[in-house]
Amino acid sequence: MEDYDKKLITQNSGVVVLGDVGHGMDEIDYYGILTEVIELQYLHNNRVVLFRCKWFDVHDTEKGIKVDKYGFISINPCLLFEI
């Protein structure tokens, strides 16, 4: 997916996972780039879809993610790690 997007003017491989850390703490949203999709099919039409992503470091507010005064989110694409 990421390789396909590199050839385009616009990109559509970005993902976001809305985080909930619980315990009354602030929520942290995680941003990444989708690299692979795998679908596992089981008996009786059951299936599981797995997503592999490269994630941005959202915990580093100096180099990773920044939110401006209008709520616009900027992410440094140099800080990716894969899970």
In this predicted structure, the answer to whether residue 82 has a pLDDT above a threshold of 60 is no
Q: What confidence score (pLDDT) does residue 79 get?
A: 55
Instruction: Give 13-59 pLDDT, tens digit per residue.
Output: 778 888 776 666 677 788 888 888 999 999 999 999 998 888 877 77
Sheet hosting strand 30-41, strand order edge to edge: 14-17, 30-41, 47-56, 80-82
Candidates 61, 63, 53; CA nearest to 28 is: 61
How much is the average pLDDT of 51-78?
A: 76
What is the reported pTM?
0.59
